[in-house]
Structure 1
């Protein structure tokens, strides 16, 4: 995560309604974090060698470049209306949308985008641009989806991994900024392995297992309230599949935060199965936090 005070919140726009929703969410988040907002549009047409200027006999204001300028200007106006006084800038960058946003990520505090854009396939729950940016960005990525519940808590998924601990720090900062509690959820299915080659017991005491997993959760959250004064922290150890547990819990949250890759994930994956499941099934906006490469 870029910690420089000058790092902006970056929002990707394409003129679609989901991207305008992302603009409103990004403007509110930039205001809370006291960051400027940067509106970015990936302009792919020059890469495809398509003429972007109006034809010689076309009326004024034509051409693909002018259309891109208009949609960026509209997004800037939307941000300024959402958060009066916020420093907002807009830019058109030649390139494919996901590549442009990933390119912005090293210098960004946060990237925000809609769950689906123009031209997305109707069968996709979350668009390919959102998935690609969440998988490759070098800063946290906020995907605007689901319902907005400003009075509900922030939710973070915990599994003891380094990525989850980074997610917990981001979630704690966000919960304090929004003035709501942070609910830390640890989903488990079986007793944890104690070492190489050991076997999970076929029969175990569910109550004792819950207490053990709650202790694991408490340990992974150690020091969080001290590092984030004013944080109201709630722990929940829940028996079930992590993706399904978090998706269900997101129905009573305003935001769910997950690490990009959790414990036990295949190391070659850029985005873990749990974070992908939450991206596709959460009932509120989702933040994916990955460790910088």
Structure 2
């Protein structure tokens, strides 16, 4: 992957989604012989506002929040140990909100893992939530754990759009497929409508047959060299005339992991998590690994 510390970091909050993330992260750390770090950020912000709470009342509430965090971390540690008793596990309870805590932790991790939802129960409202915010700003690949989690079943799927960010996703996808011993499905989706500016003006491309040939060449170019580096990985190329999010969401129903860049071509500058990766984070049927661009040297 990238030149980060040899650890997998997982954010926990005591929810069912958090438990699934811990189990998945523990398996990944065990497979790679890496350390697992379990992190919980206390939701302290706002405890002292909106009700005139001061003194003993505020201190009692803080103690309750801290105890809740300690319980979440202890449960996560026990779950990780049940998956691999030899796994090296470290924990940290921080007096900072979850999102900035996890983004800071991502500076020192090979991969950051989060669950699909928190305690608030709004399963379909991830835009602006912990998962989307972390995936959009982290300094390392972020896995959002979704789906039924069937270890060892299904291929790894990677979305390819011809951008440098996509190239990084391809590199990680090959590594994941090789480590898991499963095929890699390389998906390049295209259509004959292209949006040329931020106002959404569109034009219809002519000669779709010749366009498809060009897209097929692009897919071949993006995979060139990787099969030589990973001869053990069976590659299945898939060129589809559709929106990328549609194709990847369909494939996620049978995959064990979908790997995607954080932003595709034509993205708006302010949208740090592109529309395709946002759709996958919200609706995919399996864990999604969002690859952020490498920082400039």
Q: TM-score range by the shorter chain?
A: 0.7 to 0.9
Q: CA RMSD in A?
A: 2.6
Compute the TM-score of the two structures, normalised by the length of structure 2.
Answer: 0.86
Compute the TM-score of the two structures, normalised by the length of structure 1.
Answer: 0.87
| Pairs within 5 Å for 1:263-278 | 263-278=265-280
Match of 1:236 in 2: 238
Change (3 A) 1:175 1:65: same
User: Which runs of 5 or more residues in structure 1 are unaligned?
Assistant: 194-198
Match of 2:207 in 1: 204
Whether the 8 Å contact between 2:194 and 2:204 is mirrored in structure 1 is no
Change (3 A) 1:171 1:122: closer
Distance 2:116 2:204 in 1: 41
Matched, 1:173 2:175: yes
- In the alignment of these two chains, the number of paired residues is 281
Cα displacement (A) at 1:123: 4.8
| Pairs within 5 Å for 1:205-220 | 205-206=208-209, 208-220=210-222
Please give the per-residue CA displacement for 1:38-57, whole angstroms capped at 9, x wherever unaligned. 00000122774499x998xx
Change (3 A) 1:54 1:219: farther
Partner SS, residue 110 of structure 2: strand
Distance 1:221 1:54 in 2: 62
Matched, 1:30 2:29: yes
Match of 2:3 in 1: 3
Distance 1:87 1:35 in 2: 8
Whether the 8 Å contact between 1:115 and 1:127 is mirrored in structure 2 is no
Distance 1:183 1:122 in 2: 28
Please give the per-residue CA displacement for 1:195-235, whole angstroms capped at 9, x wherever unaligned. xxxx96654244x4333211110101111122334222111
228-237 or 90-99: bigger deviation: 228-237
| Structure 1 runs, 4 residues or longer, greater than 6 Å off | none
Partner SS, residue 217 of structure 2: helix
225-234 or 212-221: bigger deviation: 225-234
Cα displacement (A) at 1:70: 1.7
Distance 1:123 1:66 in 2: 28
Match of 1:39 in 2: 38
Partner SS, residue 245 of structure 2: helix
Change (3 A) 1:202 1:97: closer
145-154 or 101-110: bigger deviation: 145-154
Partner SS, residue 63 of structure 1: helix
Partner SS, residue 118 of structure 2: coil
Please give the per-residue CA displacement for 1:113-151, whole angstroms capped at 9, x wherever unaligned. 101011243552667100000000000000011122332
Partner SS, residue 45 of structure 1: coil
Match of 1:101 in 2: 102
